Amino acid sequence: MLLQIDHHSGVPIYRQVMDQIRRQVMAGQLPEGGQLASVRDLAGRLNVNPMTISKAYALLEMEGLLERRRGIGLFVATIRKDHKRRTKTQLLEQILTKAVTTAVQFDISPDEVHELTERLFRRYGSKVGSERK
């Protein structure tokens, strides 16, 4: 499990951790039922305070994304597949909605948006089964 923390982004570290884990679970990079890195381990690797990781984990558990097994560790909860697909689409739609309303407000045509999107896809790799670490 690799996470990137940006200490200068202004986004709280525990939120960065949450977002990235949530995404990795949704993307299947963290398999359901799989165990997460321990609080101390992850904290050590990211060079942050264990409590910060613990907070992120606790919130994700409350979200229902993670499951605690007392004295053993934290695991990715099992999610129904359709629910997962829906969540993924919702997340994307949310971002795209912002893009579209911005374009409309700025008088940028759907064609221009489409072109720009294609260019970004080429840049950020749309190839199937892209690099998984």
Contacting residues for 109 by C-beta, under 8 A, at least 6 apart: 103
Q: What is the rounded distance in angstroms from the CA atom of residue 34 to the CA atom of residue 97?
A: 33
- Out of 2, 31, 86, 97, point to the residue binding a copy of itself (CB under 8 A): 97
Displacement of CA 72 from its chain's centroid (Å) = 24
Residue 91 binds which entry of a copy of itself, DNA, none, with Cβ cut-offs from 5 to 8 Å by kind? a copy of itself
Residue 80 binds which entry of a copy of itself, DNA, none, with Cβ cut-offs from 5 to 8 Å by kind? none
Residue window 37-76: x/- pattern of binding to a copy of itself, with contact defined by CB under 8 A: ------------x------------x----x-xxx-----
Query: On the CB side of 29, how many CA atoms lie within 13 Å of its CA?
Result: 14
| Nearest approach, Cβ of residue 50 and a copy of itself (Å) | 13
| Nearest approach, Cβ of residue 34 and DNA (Å) | 13
Question: Residue 61 in contact with residue 55, Cβ under 8 Å?
Answer: no
